[in-house]
Amino acid sequence: MIENLFSLEGKVALVTGGAKGIGAMISQGLVESGAKVYVSSRSAEACENFAQEMSKIGQCAALPADLSSLENIDNLVKELTQKESKIDILINNAGATWGHPLGDFPEKGWDKVMNLNVKSIFFLTQAMLPLLRAAASKESPSRVVNISSIMAEMPFVMNSWSYSPSKAALKQMTRNLANELTKEQILVNCIGPGFFPTKMTAFMDKKQMAGIAPIGRGGQASDIAGLVIYLCSKAGSFMAGNFIPLDGGILMK
C-alpha cells in the first residue's frame, strides 16, 4: 500500500504558469510522480521548451495561453478537451504582482493583479468542471490546488498593494469552492508558499531569503512539489477546503 500512497500514475494534470518558477517545480514533481502533465504559460517558447525537457523524464505537453481573458480561458479548455476526456488535477498557479509606492499606485496595477490572481482562477476552474467531474469518484476524487501566498495572512506588502488582497481572496475562494464541490468528489485546497527562488523574489539574495524564515533557508523545489503531490495523491484524499502555509515558519513570527 505504501508504495502507491503518493503515486500519481495514470493521472492527468493541468498546471497554469507551469513552465517557470514555482509552477515549474510543481510540474516536474507531478511528472516524476507518474502524472501526464499539461503546462500552460503566457510564453509559448518557455512552455514548449519546458515541456520538451520534462518529456525526457515522463509525459508532458505544452498548452500556451494567456489566462487574463475569458476568451483565452475558453480556448485553452476547448483545446484540452480535444486531447483528454477527463482531468484529475488542476493546479491554479498562474499569477502576477505589481510593485509601486502607495501614494501613486496605479489602477492598472490593481486590475491586472486581481484579474489574473482571482478572476481568471475562478473562471478557469468553472470551465474545467466538466473534465474534473468526468474524473471524479469516491475512490479517487479529482483535485484542485490553488497557489496563494503567505501574503494572504501577513502585512508584508513590499509595495505590492494588490498582491496580498488577491491572495487573501484566493484563500477564501478556495473555501467557497470546496464547500460547493466536495460533495461532487472534487477536492479543493490552497497552498500559501513563503519565499522561494523565483522571478518574483529575484530582488532577494539567498542570504536575505534565509534570514526571513526561522528554518534558515528559502523554499526548495522538493518542498512545494512534495506538498502538491500529497494533496493530489491517495495520501491527501481526505483534505478539502484547507489553506496550508509552506513558509519555513514565517507565520509563527
- Looking at the annotation, which residues are catalytic? 163
* All residues at 6 or more sequence positions from 176 whose CB lies less than 8 Å from its CB, including other chains: none
The amino acid at 239: M
Q: How far apart are CA 21 and CA 14, in angstroms?
A: 16
Angle at 17 between CA 16 and CA 23, to 5 degrees: 100
- Rounded Cα distance between 122 and 174, Å, is 9
The β-bridge partners of 144 are: 90, 188
Q: Classify residue 222 as exposed, middle or buried by CB count within 10 Å of its CB (0-12, 13-18, 19+).
A: exposed
Q: In Å, how far from its chain's centre is CA 97?
A: 15
The β-bridge partners of 61 are 38
Contact 84, 131 (CB under 8 A): yes
